[in-house]
Structure 1
Amino acid sequence: MNQGLLGKLGMDSKMAMGYLGVLLFMMGDGLELGWLSSYLIDNGLSVQQSALLFSVYGFAVAIAAWLSGVLAEVLGPRKAMSFGVALFIAGTLVFLTFGLPTMNLAIMLPTYSLRGLGYPLFAYSFLVWLTYYAPAERLGTAVGWFWVSFAGGLNVLGAYYSSFALSYLGELKTLWSALVFVTLGAIIAISLNKDKESNRRKFNSKAEALKYISKGITIAFERPKVGLGGIVRTINTAGAYGFVVFLPAYMMEIGFTRTEWLQIYGALWSSNVIFNLIWGIIGDKFGWRNTVMWFGGVGCAVFTAALYYTPFFLGANYMAATLVAICFGACLAAYVPLSALIPSLAPENRGAAMSILNLGAGLSTFVGPALVGLFIGSVGTVGIIWIYTGLYLISAFMMKFVTLPKKIETETVDTSSNMPVVQ
């Protein structure tokens, strides 16, 4: 693939290896998402215990996601990413050696959480790197490519790989194989990426650096729109992370096989990958906020309900369920412009603003499963679906208030068309 083609696709050639590394790393991280919960339940854990494991993991993800933005500036993206890789590998080794074979929650909770600390430091530190590197008029496209890489590895390649690997390797060996993808992705993204981090923030002392870390929280109060963006980002993937706890069991009760479910799940995220880039480009041209509000919030609300009611009324109709999953994945991607909008609200503190956005991304992995654990017993599957539907509508309403200052809005121009970006 030559530079001319990369340019036409909106990808800067200097960051191409970073995107590839993120894709491979996240493939290793996410290959169990579509089936681990059902495996745990089949091997002795309750739905609530499985939800607890994913919720504690999500809390660890939230902490690491918050820290990733400021640590990427304090340490530099490469060092922050390397630290994340080390945590992920350490957690995986202990989780698979001592935790999963014994189904001992006392071991599983801390070691699976250690994995959760690892991947945000790797992936979201690269995202911070990207927000400094990419020019403002191409930032939506640049972060769109990041989310293509992120979701393509985490939810598409991981799911499809598992749908084939499980039959040949079994569950434990499939999980062990994740280390191959993680290691390869880390080497490519950290060692081979060409940008030299020229925009890394400089600190005069350790005290100044530590003070800046606190900025990753205080900026949400100094810039309330940044805080609102973090809440919207939490809602964005809360449903998707909650689905993996209870939806596989529901689909199999309807009549789908595990392989069919994994392929439906893979189709959802395949659509998401494609639309990550499409919405990034559309957001650059026609408005980041409007894209998130209408196609993200309202669209996700509609198709969240459809994920439940389509198989409820049509039974194990593979094509119908796949089509709905594709539509949900496309709408889920419409939140991508948040990654351009939020740091633009605080251009002098992009890393801190990204920390809030990353915290929201991490919290979604906690909130989604936690809602299942808290309410599945009382409201059932249909009740959980309507909780998520309501949250998506709330996120759409909140986006009415997340607007760029007029000065920044008029400066954010698509250079290819000279059209001002209307937020």
Structure 2
Amino acid sequence: MENINKQWLGLPLSLIWGYVAIAIFMTGDGFEMAFLSHYIKELGFSPAQSSLVFTVYGFAAALAAWVSGVLAEIITPQKTMLIGFLMWCIFHVLFLTFGLGQKNYSLILLFYGIRGLAYPLFLYSFIVIIVHNVKDSSVSSALGWFWAVYSVGIGVAGSYIPSLTIPHLGGLGTLWLALLFCGVGGVIAMVSMRKVSVPKHLGTTKEKFTELSRAVTLFYTNRKILYASIVRIINTLSLFGFPVIMPLMFIDELGFTMAEWLKVWTVFFATTIFFNIFWGIVSEKMGWMRVVRWFGCIGMAVSSFAFYYIPQHFGNNFYIALIPAVSLGIFVAAFVPMTAVFPALEPKHKGAAISAYNLSAGLSNFLAPAIAVILLPSFNIIGVVIAYTSLYIIAFFVSYLIEVEQPGFENNKRIAAKCVMSQI
């Protein structure tokens, strides 16, 4: 445990190469995030058809996210990450070759949807490694770093690099380049994580499937898990929904170039890097749910609304558009403690709790574009933004139903109270 407990500002040094692997892999996975919806539209498909592609992808991601936590404990996280890595590479090639390359909408849906199964297996299995290799009182900080490197990959590098390559390689060429990053990240993960130990879930086949199903049954056997799931689903609606709908506003309506839009989205994710770590540390002192409630829910309600209305008011002004992007980045990171809340609510079944968390994250990936598919034809972009904003306000009230025992938090409050009393 001595090596496991070595940290730098909450970063577990024994897992540092795993964090590096996540950053590089998610860079490749993130190449498409902010421009693929507009690229599909340029191929001749409607905005609703483009949104449906992401809805199918999100459904597959939700399914894979559900099984990832328990599967990682049954066959080891390393094997689950390997499966995700290989699936991503294979179906990415099929997606580019026969889907986008042939402008075949059915194959775009099929191969991109199947590829959606891949990244959650790779990404969320690493959460299992973190939870089992970091002491409980430091999990929030370690997961803050996890989401920080996730943001470095999928958001910062994943958005900024395409802004440089699209003018030279085009959209399809940039997507082929993504394969290189995912390949490098996958290899680093396989090499660096091979000796990391995680308790393996032993038992009969029936017991293993029971543990897998528990990730769903927890929603009604543990009502607090259900409430936490609702908050987690709402958490990233703007993160997954805005890349689908906002290029239509910024590029087609306001006249931003693709490179400018990608840089706005890069600034959003760049902001989350620091604040993922910041809120992870602050929440251990201030309280997980207090940070989620006041800075996550309320902050995202205001920021999501501002991300639409500030550019609408000021028009094609790149620097003004960065203001709501920074705000969005600050407050979406305030949901970081939710990753620690789930296993704390079900300490005897951490794998199932993590799978419940991952399923909620995947459902967010599914529902964000699904809401767009439903509302875009009748209510345009503003209707989608209002829906997201309203749901963040609902999450604020739901958060009061989540009572979780935070390791070390009550002791810290008692110590602080004693210090205050000693000064009186």
Shorter-chain TM-score category?
over 0.9
Please name the residue that 2:420 is paired with: none
Measured in 1, the distance between the counterparts of 2:285 and 2:223 equals 25
Q: CA shift at 1:194, angstroms? A: 6.9
Q: Which residue of 2 aligns with 1:166?
A: 166
Letter in 1 for 2:219: A
Structure 2: stretches of 5+ with no match in the other structure: 418-424
Cα displacement (A) at 1:9: 2.3
Report the Cα distance in structure 1 between the residues aligned to 2:402 and 2:128, rounded to whole angstroms. Answer: 20
Q: Confirm or deny that 1:113 pairs with 2:113.
A: yes
Are residues 414 and 99 of structure 1, via their aligned partners in 2, closer, same or farther at CA, if it must alter by over 3 Å?
A: farther
* Counterpart check, 1:216 vs 2:250: no
**Deviation per residue, 1:194-249 (Å, 9 max, x gap):** 7622x423313222212211111111211111121112111111122111121111
Q: Secondary structure at the match of 1:177?
A: helix
2:228 is matched with 229
Q: Which letter maps to 1:237?
A: T
- Cα shift readout 1:63-89 (whole Å, capped 9, x = no counterpart): 000111110111110011111111111
CA distance in structure 1 between the aligned counterparts of 2:258 and 2:97, rounded to whole angstroms: 25
Match of 1:80? Answer: 80
1:57 lines up with 2:51 in the alignment = no
Deviations 1:48-106 (A, max 9, x none): 11011000000000000011111011111001111111111111111111110122111
Asked if the contact 1:137–1:414 (Cα under 8 Å) also holds between the matched residues in 2, the reply is no
205-214 or 341-350, larger mean C-alpha shift: 205-214
Query: 1:204 corresponds to which residue?
Result: 203
Residue number in structure 2 paired with 1:246: 245
Question: For 1:295-374, what aligned pairs fall within 5 Å after superposition?
Answer: 295-374=295-374
CA displacement at 1:297 relative to structure 2: 0.4
In structure 2, relative to structure 1, the CA distance for the partners of 1:414 and 1:281 (3 Å cut) is: farther
State whether residues 37 and 50 of structure 1, in contact with CA within 8 Å, keep that contact through their aligned partners in structure 2. yes
2:271 aligns to what? 271
Instruction: Kindly report the root-mean-square deviation, in angstroms, between the aligned alpha carbons of the 2 structures.
Output: 1.8
Q: Which runs of 4+ in 1 moved over 3 A?
A: 408-415, 417-420
Q: Which residue of the partner structure matches residue 398 of structure 2?
A: 398
For 2:90 and 2:407, locate their aligned partners in 1 and report how far apart those are by CA, in whole Å. Answer: 47
Give me the identity figure in percent. 37
Return the offset for 1:386. 0.6
Note the C-alpha offset of 1:193. Answer: 3.0
Separation of aligned partners in 2, 1:113 and 1:366? 11
TM-score by length of 1: 0.94
Distance between the aligned counterparts of 2:239 and 2:338, measured in 1? 17
Q: C-alpha deviations, 1:308-361, integer Å up to 9, x for none?
A: 110111111211110110111110110000001111111111111111111111
Q: CA deviation at 1:418?
A: 6.0
SS in 1 for 2:117: helix
Q: Could you tell me which residue of structure 2 aligns to residue 383 of structure 1?
A: 383
Asked whether the equivalents of residues 288 and 406 of structure 2 are also in contact (C-alpha less than 8 Å), the reply is no
One-letter identity of the residue aligned with 1:336? V
TM-score for the superposition, normalised by structure 2? 0.94
Count of paired positions: 412
* Structure 1 spans left out of the alignment, 5+ residues: none
CA contact (8 A) 2:68 2:125 kept: yes
Partner of 1:14: 14
Summarize the Cα distance change of 1:223–1:177 in structure 2 as closer, same or farther, 3 Å threshold. Answer: same
Per-residue displacement from partner, 1:363-391 (whole Å, max 9, x unpaired)? Answer: 11110111111011111111111111001
